[in-house]
A and B are shown apart, each in its own frame.
Chain A
Amino acid sequence: MHYHFFIVNKIGLIIYDRYYQGTAKLSANDMIRFSSTLNSVHLISAQITPPNLRKTGLKVLNTKTFKLFCYQTTTGVMFCLVSDPNSQDMESLCKKAYQHYSDYVLKNPFYETDQQIRIEGFDQAIDRLFLEKAV
């Protein structure tokens, strides 16, 4: 089950978010706080990486009730998904979302890079990906 999907651009701003299962939408202020905290955690994780190991930044955050997964692209965009703790394949779902992003968002001439994404076709593709088929 998936609760929340969002995209963070390469300068650390959330440019897209989508909520499922009745999850409450973050307010604009909370969103800024959240994305900057996420960025800090990402930075800290690099700092505490033991020597001679790859610094991959934040990838998974586990709690008893949910799991946050971050997929970072080579170009610096982050695709993040909040799901229940038993969720599998979060990485491949995020990669799939990356493909939809490169189709619906980056091939859209009316989308301005690094701005908020408001594209109907993209919403539909993302919903198809994260909405449970059977309840």
Chain B
Amino acid sequence: MAASTVDGEVEVFTLPFKKSRNLKLRSVWGMGKELYMFQSQIPHKEREESQRSFSESNIFDVQWNAEMHDIARKLVNETHNIFVILQGQVKSLSQSILYSQLRKASKQYRAVLKACSMELMQIADSCTDESKKLKYEEHIQEFEMIQLIWSLCEILFIDVAPGGLVLTSLLDWLQWHFQEGKQLATKVIHSDQPCEHPQYWEAIYRLLLQGDTENVRKLLALNVFSHSDSFIAVDEVLKKMPRWTYQHAQSVAEYEMKWRHWREECVRRYEAGQFAAYPELETIVQVLCGDEAVFKDLKDCCETWYHLLVSKLLYQNPTCRIQDLTYEIKPCQAVFSNSSPQIQELDNILQAALEFDLHQVIKDSCTFLSNRSWWFVSHLADILHHCGQLDPQELPFGSNLREYLLLEYATSLMAHKSLYQVGIDYLDFCPVFGRSYIEAYVERIPLETERKAHKILHICLERDLLVQAQSICKVMGMKCLKQERFGSALSWFLKSKDATVIKQVTDRFLNEYCEEGKFSHLDLIDHLGPSMLITNSLTFLAKYREFHTFYNNGDVKGAVNLLLSLISSRLAPKFFWMTMLMDALPLLNLPEVVFNVSQTYELLHCLEELQRDGTSNYKNLKETEIEKLKLLRIALTRNLANAILQERSVRTVSIS
């Protein structure tokens, strides 16, 4: 592994602040890759008010590695699906089936990338704002480079041809990424006099160098001299050119023999001067013969050293193995010199790939292509990792390269207002740090709406993040409580199972009942179920409500017993005792005696305790309520008398 895997040059970003000796630049972290920057004064040891220096009062919100997410949301979203499905397959599939899925996923990623790139081209075309257009074009260029690297890596590491015969795939790669020849051919064909077109021969050479002999023949057929002997001869050798395909069950040796015969024929005919009448045809046959010099002459039709490399292999060594590629790099690069520095970066990455130095590929791609997003490196590394091409060993930071890159990508998604969900899904597949990252981030996602809060709560519960779930419920409950939405507050607090805050709400409910004589959240209270056991205050609320139900249904005995046990349990807050005693009043006034002696004493005790306490609730009673209390006392006394009579228990009472 290279000395430093993903260290690049330090990126410098400049903010429009004034420079001053008395000022410093400060930062505050936002979510993920986001900083708020502002200018502040350099403190003096004495902390005195120093000479004033003008400072900027602006604070700048700076984000990085996130630029692509808005431009290519589709890319982020669609590749997210591919990624998640693939991770599932990694877990469940056997090795051999998995490989075919990995190949498929790699192609899917590339397809989405291509689609996004094309969509961006359309947007750029119709964009009138020059600076925006420039941005789009930068992105398109980057997408094109990514595609070029990815498809080469796919050929070399992911979808490796059987027997290591790599040329057919490399030709596809050329034809896919170098379309100049095809475009030129179309232009030529559609011109009035194709063979008079100034680029007629260039188009032919370009197609020939990509092995597209079909179209070369079509173009040659358009020539006015196409019926001359030389043209017919060229057409013959082009037609005869042997092709390597996996489909036909031909062996490599068989193919090699065919090819050698064909090439001998080309050389023979060339030496016999069959094409001498037309220098352009001679050039074509020289290419077919694999003549070293002619490739140098045609280098402009290849554009790059790697195109030249594939073209030369096609005509010089068509059965080359994947390992042979390395030796061809230097000679081909030598043909091209002085290219621009940006191209240099891309060249280095492709060279590293052809040299099978995957870590260099990833390292250089990180430096060169991860400025706008870590999308590319993280997804490519994931596939390579599962293909067994990356060193799976743990690095000093605590996990492997795949996880390192996925963490970068996920982190850059976290600051986004809606893509955070995608980020979390990626973190799910980071075995060492993923969970802790989710824990750190999930509590910091703004809970603007109930819906979003539920969504985030769901994220927590799915992952068994109970501490975070509890915190979210508590935050939401407190918010509702502040807005006096007690029902919602209680349902949030029930989820967080926090007794102290639940009591705050149940007290509000009881208060409300004292004031208005009814509960506003009956369905919630009626459906507490087992959650009423979370805390005493809830148990009381539910049981008190049950008392109402008994009473309304005419179950006097049930009502009386429950009310008494509620009163004697002392579960209710003091301010509510009066209400419960008042609830006893209609029961006391029933024609039959429903409270026996000891039960009546219980009620009396409660009344006494309340009066002795002199709680503010009692003191502040209104006239009507004091009147009611008097009635209660009378009713209790009368009931006691009746009960004693009924039970004939006067003696026992006098003894005790």
The answer to whether A and B interact is: no
Q: Which residues of B contact A (CB under 8 A)?
A: none
